[in-house]
């Protein structure tokens, strides 16, 4: 007999929206030794007005900024903005076997993913449009695709500096290690630095109501509504400093640096402070009040990363001696400099280090000739180095010094046990510091599938929350981590407290519902949590899939179908929505619709083992044994420990009189899940057909110990 469809989804969907960024060097934060003027536009209710409004009065500054790389940090890819080679370079991901190519298709640019069989024919193909570019192109250009307002990163990046400056295609940062394919949504934490102030949809990963086009004036000056209203009413400010808008030039050096470091200092993990959002930072506010940043501790003092320039600069004598140097000393944000040549920066160096004085001081040195007026200062004192988190790109090391042969900066390398190191002083001691450090370990462990690191985070959070129980995100992550590690009962108190602190966060409600399911709580309380989550954000498709799965388990299949259909419309690329929709259709006897949905799940995710095995059941049911066998084998190949896939393949062998193969595969199914009752019963039947009555009785009795009414097991015992 066929086992029928596998009803449980491959995994429960967790919603996880913490601000997470790439690897970076870590150091100590600057101090805010003086207070900032009382700028009035940094409160929450002052609105952003956009660059066009700024340009009406500040035309020169606006036009200069448009030539700066920041203004070109995010834009649409068109025939006008395209600079890449679209001749068809193919990049293969060795571990997953996917091929990728960026190409032009009519009037669009696309990235294609495919697989090949032994004969070179395509067995899988997905094509996504390249809608947006992230990056000015000085080092690289990465691409986003958009579907129904959702943004996803694409696997291939164009590395401008590679191939002798001719450029080349290769994987976007992180994709070579873990291939995110077309599923890596762009959260507000990424968008807030790579683009201007956009409006995200609350509690939906990667979906936006509106998108800016490039980093804008208000990233550094704060929202402009108050300033515009005041200057239209009276062109001249009442004081020498116009307090209606932040001018970073009037900030103390530490806060000036924070304006730049809001995006140019990040670590392995960055966690928003309680109550903060990705867009809540305002220039003139201390950055350490907005975010906690953690890097990976390293024995290498010269470690460097793409986004550690300000931290490297603060180690320079130019900075420590002057105490006034900042990023703008060399980088005027109101003008472009990429095409200006070496003199643009050398003139700044010479303003403090006159060549005449240097040559006099180096009269007897071999390097005297290197310090003439026309010499390139930064080529020696700020060398170009490779950054660990950006392939095929080099960056200027902003630690200004005499560089010795043994002091070439390198990328980060952690030695021995992973140790996360806080960037800000406030995260080095105390219960609050322990809480944020614990959160960092949970986030890092979850992102890198490291249970040991997650457990360390749990231990830190449990201790810190005894003293600081009011940190809601810490409570949530403690519960989340415990649930991920199979500690559902222990997860519940922290999750309940997180919801008490903020009952309007869908991912908290969703996670508690899953914990309740795991311990067998009252179904009505579970359903209520899912509905509460969706009342806050109806478009969160992964939560809707969980609700549908829960309803299906309660034999409320028609209601489950409604939820799955809505989820697949809200997020068309969510394979689990199509998979669950397909299984529900099959349970309702709507075989054709079920097959279409399962095929869409496999189209989106060709290694979806549960979808493959259920599709095999459908194909076998209409008598196509060869295609069914191929699907069952693919399901087992993609997930050799999937008990449902093994059980269906074993049952296929049993039905086609391949008894020895059936025994072998069904034994593997039982090893994968000793309580898989259909696998146990069919294994008993296989042993009976093989003439092994002892083993047949053994497995039939095991099946009946789980369900005394299992018909196949009863029939096996009756026949012996």
Helix 557-570 / helix 575-587 crossing angle, nearest 10 deg: 150
Q: Residues with Cβ < 8 Å from 556, sequence gap 6 or more? A: none
**Local structure of 326: helix, strand or coil:** coil
What is the average pLDDT score of the chain? 89
pLDDT at 305 over 90: no
387 band by pLDDT with thresholds 50, 70 and 90: low
pLDDT tier at 385, thresholds 50, 70, 90: confident
Instruction: Tell me: pLDDT of 646 over 90.
Output: yes
- Tell me if 405 is assigned to some domain: no
- Cβ–Cβ < 8 Å for 156, 173: no
What is the number of structural domains in the chain?
1
Evaluate whether residue 82 is within a structural domain. Answer: yes
pLDDT at 389: 58
- Report the alpha-carbon angle 47-51-57, nearest 5: 100
Domain-embedded: residue 672: no
Residue 18 in tokens: 């913490």
pLDDT at 166 over 80: yes
In a domain, 191, yes or no: yes
Measured distance CA(438)–CA(420) in Å, rounded: 10
Parallel, antiparallel, or unpaired: how do β-strands 122-129 and 90-93 relate? unpaired
Label the pairing between strands 132-134 and 140-147. Answer: antiparallel
Whether 10 shows a pLDDT value over 60: the answer reads no
Query: Alpha-carbon distance 699 to 684, whole Å?
Result: 5
Quote the CA–CA distance of 7 and 587 in Å, as a whole number.
Answer: 9
Q: Does residue 77 sit within a domain?
A: yes
Residue 537, helix vs strand vs coil: coil
What is the model's pTM? 0.88
Determine the average pLDDT of the residues in 494-519. Answer: 98
CB atoms within 10 A of CB 470: 12
Whether 117 is in a domain gets the answer yes
- Give the pair of three-digit tokens for residue 125: 């193909």
Q: Buried b / exposed e across 146-171, counting CB within 10 Å, b at 16+?
A: bbeebbbbbbbbbbbbbeeeebbbbb
Query: How deeply is 29 buried, as exposed, middle or buried, from its count of CB atoms within 10 A (0-12, 13-18, 19+)?
Result: buried
Per residue in 411-454, pLDDT (tens digit) is 444 444 688 999 999 999 999 999 999 999 999 999 888 999 99
Q: Look at residue 498 and tell me if it is in a domain.
A: no
To 5 degrees, how large is the angle CA 190–CA 192–CA 195? 95
Q: In terms of C-beta density within 10 A (0-12 exposed, 13-18 middle, 19 or more buried), how is residue 449 classed?
A: exposed
Domain membership flag for residue 711: no
Taking CA atoms, 618 is separated from 22, 225, 467, 533, 541, in Å, by 43, 60, 56, 34, 26
Q: Which domain holds residue 63?
A: 59-216
User: pLDDT by residue (tens digit) across 314-371?
Assistant: 888 888 888 788 899 888 899 887 777 778 888 888 888 888 887 888 777 777 877 8
Each residue's pLDDT tens digit, 110-162: 999 999 999 999 999 999 999 999 988 888 999 999 998 899 999 999 999 88
Write the pLDDT tens digit of every residue in 511-558: 999 999 999 999 999 999 999 999 999 999 999 999 999 999 999 999
Instruction: Determine the pLDDT at residue 297.
Output: 78
With bands split at pLDDT 50, 70 and 90, how would you rate the model's confidence at 592? very high
- Alpha helices (H) along 275-354: 309-313, 317-322, 343-352
CB of 648 within 8 A of CB of 635? Answer: yes
């Amino acid at each position: 007999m066929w086992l029928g469809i596998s009803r449980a989804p491959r995994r429960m969907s967790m919603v996880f929206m913490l601000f997470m960024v790439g690897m970076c060097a870590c150091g100590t934060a600057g101090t805010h030794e003086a207070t900032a003027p009382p700028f009035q536009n940094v409160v929450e209710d002052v609105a952003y007005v956009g660059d066009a409004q700024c340009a009406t009065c500040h035309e020169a500054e606006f036009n200069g900024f448009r030539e700066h790389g920041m203004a070109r940090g995010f834009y649409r890819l068109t025939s006008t903005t395209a600079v890449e080679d679209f001749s068809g370079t193919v990049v293969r991901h060795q571990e997953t076997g996917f091929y990728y190519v960026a190409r032009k298709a009519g009037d669009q640019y696309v990235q294609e993913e495919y697989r090949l069989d032994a004969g070179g024919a395509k067995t899988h193909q997905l094509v996504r449009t390249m809608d947006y570019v992230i990056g000015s192109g000085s080092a690289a250009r990465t691409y986003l695709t958009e579907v129904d307002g959702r943004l996803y990163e694409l696997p291939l990046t164009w590395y401008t500096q590679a191939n002798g400056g001719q450029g080349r295609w290769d994987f976007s940062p992180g994709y070579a290690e873990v291939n995110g394919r077309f599923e890596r949504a762009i959260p507000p934490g990424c968008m807030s630095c790579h683009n201007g102030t956009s409006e995200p949809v609350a509690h939906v990963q990667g979906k936006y109501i509106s998108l800016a086009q490039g980093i804008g004036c208000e990233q550094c000056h704060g929202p402009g509504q108050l300033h515009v209203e005041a200057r239209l009413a009276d062109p001249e400010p009442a004081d020498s400093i116009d307090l209606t808008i932040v001018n970073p030039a009037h900030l103390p050096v530490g806060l000036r640096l924070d304006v730049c470091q809001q995006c140019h200092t990040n670590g392995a993990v960055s966690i928003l402070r309680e109550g903060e959002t990705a867009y809540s930072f305002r220039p003139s506010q201390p950055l350490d009040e907005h975010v906690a940043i953690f890097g990976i501790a390293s024995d290498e003092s010269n470690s460097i990363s793409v986004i550690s320039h300000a931290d490297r600069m603060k180690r320079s004598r130019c900075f420590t001696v002057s105490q006034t140097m900042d990023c703008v000393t060399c980088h005027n944000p109101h003008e472009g400099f990429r095409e200006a040549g070496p003199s643009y920066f050398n003139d700044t160096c010479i303003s403090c280090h006159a060549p005449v004085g240097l040559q006099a001081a180096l009269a007897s040195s071999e390097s005297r000739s290197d310090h003439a007026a026309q010499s390139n200062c930064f080529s020696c004192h700020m060398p170009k180095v490779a950054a660990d988190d950006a392939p095929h790109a080099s960056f200027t090391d902003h630690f200004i010094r005499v560089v010795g042969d043994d002091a070439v900066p390198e990328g980060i390398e952690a030695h021995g046990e992973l140790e996360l190191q806080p960037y800000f002083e406030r995260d080095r001691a105390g219960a609050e510091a322990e809480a944020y450090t614990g959160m960092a370990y949970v986030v890092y462990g979850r992102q890198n599938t490291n249970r040991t690191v997650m457990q360390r985070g749990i231990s830190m959070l449990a201790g810190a929350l005894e003293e600081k129980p009011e940190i809601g995100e810490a409570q949530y992550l403690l519960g989340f981590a415990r649930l991920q590690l199979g500690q559902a009962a222990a997860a519940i108190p922290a999750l309940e407290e997180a919801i008490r602190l903020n009952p309007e966060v869908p991912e908290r409600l969703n996670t508690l519902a899953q914990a309740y399911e795991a311990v067998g709580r009252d179904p009505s309380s579970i359903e209520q949590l899912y509905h509460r989550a969706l009342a806050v954000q109806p478009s969160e498709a992964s939560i809707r899939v969980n609700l549908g799965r829960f309803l299906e388990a309660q034999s409320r299949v028609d209601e489950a179908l409604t939820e799955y259909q809505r989820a697949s419309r809200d997020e068309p690329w969510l394979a689990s929505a199509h998979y669950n929709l397909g299984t529900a259709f099959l349970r309702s006897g709507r075989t054709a619709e079920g097959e279409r949905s399962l095929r869409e799940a496999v189209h989106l995710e060709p290694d979806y083992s549960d979808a493959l095995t259920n599709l095999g059941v459908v194909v076998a049911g209409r008598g196509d044994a060869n295609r069914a066998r191929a699907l069952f084998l693919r399901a087992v190949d993609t997930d050799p420990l999937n008990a449902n896939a093994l059980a269906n393949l074993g049952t296929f062998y049993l039905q086609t009189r391949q008894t020895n193969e059936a025994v072998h595969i069904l034994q593997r199914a039982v090893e994968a899940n000793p309580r898989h009752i259909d696998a146990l019963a069919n294994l008993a039947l296989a042993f009976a057909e093989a003439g092994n009555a002892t083993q047949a009785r053994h497995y039939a009795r095991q099946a009946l110990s789980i369900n005394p009414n299992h018909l196949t097991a009863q029939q096996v015992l009756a026949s012996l």
